[in-house]
Structure 1
């Protein structure tokens, strides 16, 4: 029996709702063994980020090589990478080990509104990591920031931005519509074959901490289990929608609380 394994390369969230912690919970909830490479330590809670401590690039490299030299990684999820030397180290590691699937979540702004990606890192992300990605998962503001354009206001603009993001070299783009205002949350999966609208009912809750991390990790989990891209994305969206719907079962913190990763189990 082969154990599906996914690797998250991301920052740590001291409050446990996003980052590495959310990624590992997502992997576990979906039946995938999770490994991790930590790129940064954050001091944060449900109300915001109060500090970021970067992990040196050479130690990120050491973590990557330690994991890949021993574990059969089925998919990689990349989250918070705020420092250009770390982005370079990750890109070099991916080229060295050639994982089959890479899910890149360009984490630029936290749910609380705190900016997590320095301006000088955006160029490195765009040119070094996006071309190596099987799929990137920006939300509407992140897609606009990556292209240095205004935020898309309608479906046609979203699909147009998806096409321009594909031109940066990734195989697929999932633009997340969670920041929209409509009664439905519509994500757009864009590939060279066209775009698919994925719709779910928008859920009224303030407990949305770590939703982006969790969705990209769930996609990576599906890919690690051998699912195709569209299937992995659809399954991940359905699972996350249920996790958000169950979030109010928790009473965690005083701000944007976490989603319920293990809603199927308790």
Structure 2
């Protein structure tokens, strides 16, 4: 039988820890067929991003047309989209897709390198978020999108409301950078869920955001509703963080194959 199909639209990470590479590893680990539209190529390793080059909009549109026109999808995940022109193309195409869309509004890498042109932020807010089923910003991305600064767990709800005002059906505010045990808040404006996890003493966390968003998309494709898809994705990424391993001289990746080892 053909497994559920999930499409990632993101940047390529030459170091293999995040981006397209992390997305496809996550999808394989969770039992779905992963497909990719590459929006940008990065020169990247454990120390940081040394450069990135976005693809022409017509190349991204052609990849989307090729996959959607023949194979189809049961969920879509977006990551690094780089420029206003690429965000416009992707939002336009996804507005006609019935499958759930998980948007990871990637703005900066784990090492602090910018991955989204400043002028693209307004296009993400105005064009992409309104087509999202779930948007998964970290606290820095919340501030970039809404100017809301979260300093403690009480700030997660106002942040979620500010993100929901931009149009997605659900907002998952990732609170892992707050002090204390990690907590994420998921809400559609009415229902609210808080996901807590153990904080692992492991610096090798490269690819965490990509992995979580891809895991949510995978579980949506497998038929789960949004809260259950997020719960299962959190369980998977928590294990991947616990088993993150050193690679190179800097920050290593989470272990996408931790359940197999």
Same fold (TM over 0.5): yes
Matching of residue 209 in structure 1 with residue 199 in structure 2: no
User: Normalization by structure 2: what TM-score?
Assistant: 0.98
Give unmatched runs, 5+ long, in structure 2: none
- Cα offset, 1:50, TM superposition: 0.6
- The aligned counterpart of 1:51 is 51
Rounded to whole Å, the distance in 2 between the matches of 1:27 and 1:116 is 23
Q: 2: distance between equivalents of 1:165 and 1:156?
A: 16
> What do residues 42-70 of structure 1 show as CA deviations (whole Å, max 9, x unaligned)?
00101100101010011100000000011
Deviation at 1:133, TM superposition (A): 0.1
* Kept in 2: contact 1:159–1:195 (CA 8 A): no
For residue 264 of structure 1, give the secondary structure of its aligned residue in structure 2: helix
CA contact 2:46–2:248 (8 Å) conserved in 1: yes
Give deviations 1:214-244, integer Å, cap 9, x for gaps: 0000000000111110000000000100111
Instruction: Give the secondary structure class of the aligned counterpart of 2:260.
Output: coil
Alignment of 1:49-88 (within 5 A): 49-88=49-88
Alpha-carbon shift at residue 204 of structure 1 (Å): 1.1
Q: Which residue of 1 aligns with 2:166?
A: 168
1:246 CA drift (Å): 1.1
Q: Is the 8 A contact 2:204 2:246 kept in 1?
A: no
Q: Which residue of 2 aligns with 1:41?
A: 41
Q: CA deviation at 1:158?
A: 1.3
Question: For residues 93 and 63 of structure 1, what CA distance do their matches in structure 2 show?
Answer: 11
Would you say the 8 A contact 1:76–1:99 is kept in 2? no
Q: Tell me the equivalent position of 1:259.
A: 254
Determine if contact 1:175/1:187 at 8 Å carries over to the other structure. Answer: yes
Pairwise CA distance, 1:2: 4.5
Moved over 2 A (4+): none
Aligned equivalents of 2:17, 2:216: Cα separation in 1: 18
CA distance in 2, matches of 1:95, 1:154: 35
Taking the aligned partners of 1:146 and 1:195, their CA distance within structure 2 comes to 21
Partner of 1:24: 24
SS of 2:197's equivalent in the other structure is: strand
Alignment of 1:1-266 (within 5 A): 1-96=1-96, 98-149=97-148, 151-182=149-180, 184-247=181-244, 250-266=245-261
Tell me if the contact between 2:11 and 2:81 (Cα under 8 Å) persists in the aligned partners.
yes
SS in 1 for 2:102: strand
Give, in angstroms, the shift of residue 196 of structure 1.
Answer: 1.4
TM-score (norm 1): 0.96
CA distance in structure 2 between the aligned counterparts of 1:157 and 1:194, rounded to whole angstroms: 17
State the alpha-carbon separation in 1 of the partners of residues 10 and 212 from structure 2. Answer: 14
Root mean square deviation, CA, Å: 1.0
* Aligned length, in residue pairs: 261
Deviations along 1:171-194, whole A, 9 cap, x unmatched?
Answer: 000011121121x11000011223
